């Protein structure tokens, strides 16, 4: 099968190449997915799991990509709850070969059924961003109706979904980002927007929850914005500056089949929009690692939507 692989950690993006790789083996409780569309995170070439397995052993050449949408091609021994030919989407395992390939082996529990009418390219953009946004807001941030949440990167992959989920939950949303992101953030439901390049972060006042995806100085300064009893949640790095009388949480997103199914229902009911900036074929995946925005890789299935997708929204099924 064709796959994008990496072999040289020092080479970074330049080390990505399209190669022929063996068809994956379905271990116990695995599913082999025929990949229709795949998502990736630009920073994953720096993740230890890209280069080593759970035991710390070198596993190169490895296939990156941890978001997948496709159809079940094969079931491993003991796998239940899914069937051959079924449309599925979800997260691939962090320390195994990923989704930038024609086929991928995935633990069945990491996948959820994909309803008809949701395009694979949209579904492949949802698992990491959607689960991260939900877990940050509600599992770790304990956000409830009437509270105020500050969402950094409100027009980005995670932030744009978090804005929508927070508003639907009845929270007041303040978004941050670049000046050009203001219209997008407000259009998604943010009640206010702060340009991090020209406006003072401290002018937002105190909030119940800060969701940070940026890290660095923005993360450090955000601690002071958390009101007593509130929470600072970040996916960027463990915080070194803590709220004076609140909680601070750093976490890595976890697979959750039930929550993926819930997010898919929201997509189908037009209660959620997912940002897709562009769709590219598998051969162009190495170049896509340098692109801004959310690029989805079309692997198999009907032709891609031209050289770019319609942007923030749900693609036709």
Tokens at residue 126, please?
């949802």
Give the model confidence (pLDDT) of 234-269 as tens digits.
999 999 999 999 999 999 999 999 999 999 999 999
* Helical axes 127-134 vs 257-268, angle rounded to 10°: 100
Give the domain ranges of the chain.
2-126+256-298, 141-250
Q: Are 134 and 279 in contact (CB under 8 A)?
A: no
Distance CA(117)–CA(270), nearest Å, equals 11
Does residue 17 have a pLDDT over 50? Answer: yes
User: What confidence score (pLDDT) does residue 12 get?
Assistant: 87
pLDDT tens readout for residues 121-166? 999 999 999 999 999 999 999 999 999 999 999 999 999 999 999 9
pLDDT at 240: 96
- pTM, full prediction: 0.92
Tell me the mean pLDDT in the region 174-196.
96
Question: Percentage of the chain surpassing pLDDT 70?
Answer: 95
pLDDT of residue 304 exceeding 80, the answer is no
Confidence band, pLDDT 50/70/90 cuts, at residue 301: low
Over residues 45-95, the pLDDT tens digits come to 999 999 999 999 999 999 999 999 999 999 999 999 999 999 999 999 999
What percent of the chain has pLDDT above 90? 91
Among candidate residues 124, 86, 96, the one with its CA nearest the CA of residue 285: 124
pLDDT tens readout for residues 198-241? 999 999 999 999 999 999 999 999 999 999 999 999 999 999 99
Whole-number pLDDT of residue 133: 98
- What confidence category does residue 110 fall into, taking pLDDT thresholds of 50, 70 and 90? very high
What is the rounded end-to-end Cα distance, in angstroms, of the chain? 26
CATH number given to 2-126+256-298: 3.90.180.10
14: left (phi over 0), alpha (psi -120 to 50) or beta: alpha
Distance CA 116, CA 236 (A): 34
The DSSP call for residue 108 is G
Output 40-46 pairs: Cβ under 8 A, ≥24 positions apart.
40/64, 40/65, 40/66, 40/67, 40/98, 40/99, 40/100, 40/285, 40/288, 40/289, 40/295, 40/297, 41/66, 41/128, 42/289, 42/290, 45/6, 45/9, 45/12, 45/13, 45/15, 45/16, 45/289
What average pLDDT does this structure show over 24-42? 96
- Which has the closest alpha carbon to 118: 270, 296, 256, 257? 270
Instruction: Give me the CATH topology for the region 141-250.
Output: Rossmann fold (3.40.50)
CA 120 to each of CA 158, 216, 265: distance values in angstroms, whole numbers, following the listed order: 19, 34, 14
Whole-angstrom Cα Rg for the chain: 19
Neighbours of 224 (CB within 10 A): 14
């Amino acid at each position: 099968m064709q796959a994008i692989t990496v072999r040289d950690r020092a080479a970074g993006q330049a080390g990505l190449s399209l190669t022929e790789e063996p068809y994956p083996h379905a271990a116990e409780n695995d599913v082999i997915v025929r990949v229709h569309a795949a998502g990736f995170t630009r920073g994953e070439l720096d993740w230890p799991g890209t280069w080593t397995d759970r035991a710390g052993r070198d596993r190169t050449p490895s296939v990156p990509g941890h978001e997948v949408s496709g159809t079940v091609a094969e079931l491993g021994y003991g796998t239940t709850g899914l069937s051959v030919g079924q449309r599925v989407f979800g997260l691939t395992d962090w320390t195994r070969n990923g989704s930038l390939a024609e086929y991928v082996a995935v633990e069945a529990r990491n996948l959820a059924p994909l309803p008809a009418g949701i395009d694979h390219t949209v579904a492949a953009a949802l698992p990491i961003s959607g689960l991260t946004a939900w877990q940050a807001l509600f599992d770790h941030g304990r956000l409830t109706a009437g509270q105020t949440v500050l969402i950094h990167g409100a027009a980005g992959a995670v932030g744009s979904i978090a804005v929508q989920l927070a508003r639907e939950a009845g929270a007041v949303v303040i978004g941050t980002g670049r000046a050009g992101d203001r219209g997008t953030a407000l259009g998604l439901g943010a009640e206010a927007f702060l340009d991090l390049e020209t406006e003072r972060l401290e002018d937002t006042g105190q909030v119940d929850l800060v969701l940070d995806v940026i890290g660095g100085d923005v993360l450090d300064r955000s601690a002071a914005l958390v009101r007593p009893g509130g929470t600072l949640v970040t996916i960027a790095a463990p915080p070194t500056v803590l709220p004076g009388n609140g909680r601070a949480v750093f976490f890595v997103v976890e697979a959750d089949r039930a929550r993926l199914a819930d997010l898919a229902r929201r997509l189908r009911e037009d209660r959620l929009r997912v940002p897709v900036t562009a769709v590219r074929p598998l051969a162009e995946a190495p170049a896509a690692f340098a692109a801004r925005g959310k690029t989805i890789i079309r692997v198999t299935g009907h032709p891609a939507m031209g050289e770019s997708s319609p942007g923030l929204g749900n693609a036709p099924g």
